[in-house]
Amino acid sequence: MTSHRGIRLALLGLAVNGVLALVKLVAGILGHSYALIADAVESLADLFSGVIVWSGLRLASRDADQRYPFGYGKAEAVSTATVGIMLVGAAIGIAIEAVREILIPHHTPAPFTLIVLVLVVVIKEALFRLVREGAKETGSGAVYADAWHHRADAITSIAAFLGISIALIGGPGWEMADDWAALFASVLILYNGITIIRPAVQELMDRAPDEGLLRRADAAALAVEGVLATEKLKARKSGTRYLLELHVQADSTLSLHHAHILSGKVKSAIRAAIPNVAEVLVHMEPFEAG
């Protein structure tokens, strides 16, 4: 259910970004605003990243099979990192072009471009809030990255609005304010890209999740009757789910059959406490006092 929600949000973002990119590009060209053109480029990056997020979520939602026994969850982290890399690339391209425009005299932007930007900011901020709620519900890093991609687009549009406003109010000699706005926006986009890449890379490298999740898993295991101690609890994230491993110590006189039953109870207890745990590997050991 949660993966389907993420896929629907990604498709919604695709549709909105496609329309906005076209509107901003045409308005930027006709209105002589490089900040708006840069904003359109950022929306095009949103569009392509939306395709990547959608594809990653679809792949990550597939069940484990013989080729990928641990599932396809990592596809989500790959798509998230790709979105971040695209943002960084877009930021660098916008910055280079903004500097070039600053050095070359050009027309003052047309006033109608401000109306376009106000509409864009309202739409993108609303989309950010909607997708962010979806990310919280699904626990999806890719959906979270997509949400902040929408926020980055809104910030870029605000920067463009300020730059164009200064250029229009200042009159002749202030035309480059539009380009400085584009340069400022590129810095914000770069920051967002790096912020998105970091957690994706950490997931791909199997960084341990937050201590709260580990404590909940440990408490659930220790609450099972017959469990005397636990140790070596490890977890890694795969998409929206977690894979856990721990050693459980029990009475050394337990038969293999009863130890197997106890390990099953531990798995069930942990999954009940943390619903997005996909798999629990339990190593049974004899209890060693002290």
Q: Which helix (H) or strand (E) segment is 195 a member of?
A: helix 177-204
Query: To which H or E segment does residue 285 belong?
Result: strand 277-286
pLDDT digits (tens, 9 = 90+) for 157-213: 888 888 888 888 887 878 788 788 888 888 888 888 898 899 889 888 888 888 889
Looking at every residue in the chain, the average pLDDT score rounds to: 85
**How does 19-42 read in b/e, with b if 16+ C-beta sit within 10 Å?**
ebbebbbebbeebbbbbbbbbbbb
Say whether 278 sits in a helix, a strand or coil: strand
Task: State the pLDDT confidence band at 269, using cuts at 50, 70 and 90.
Answer: very high
Question: Percent of the chain at pLDDT above 90?
Answer: 24
pLDDT in tens, 60-113: 778 888 888 888 888 888 888 888 888 888 889 888 888 887 888 767 788 898
pLDDT above 50: residue 1: no
Superfamily of the domain at 2-204: Cation efflux protein transmembrane domain (1.20.1510.10)
Residue 228 CA to its chain's centroid (Å): 40
| Domains of the chain, residue spans | 2-204, 211-286
10 Å CB burial of residue 289 (0-12, 13-18, 19+) is exposed
89-103, 117-131, 264-278 — which is least confidently predicted? 89-103
Cα 45 to Cα 50, 52, 150, 161, distances in angstroms: 8, 11, 11, 20
Residue 290 confidence (pLDDT): 58
Per-residue pLDDT for 217 more than 90? yes
Q: Reply yes or no on domain 211-286 having CATH 3.30.450.40.
A: no
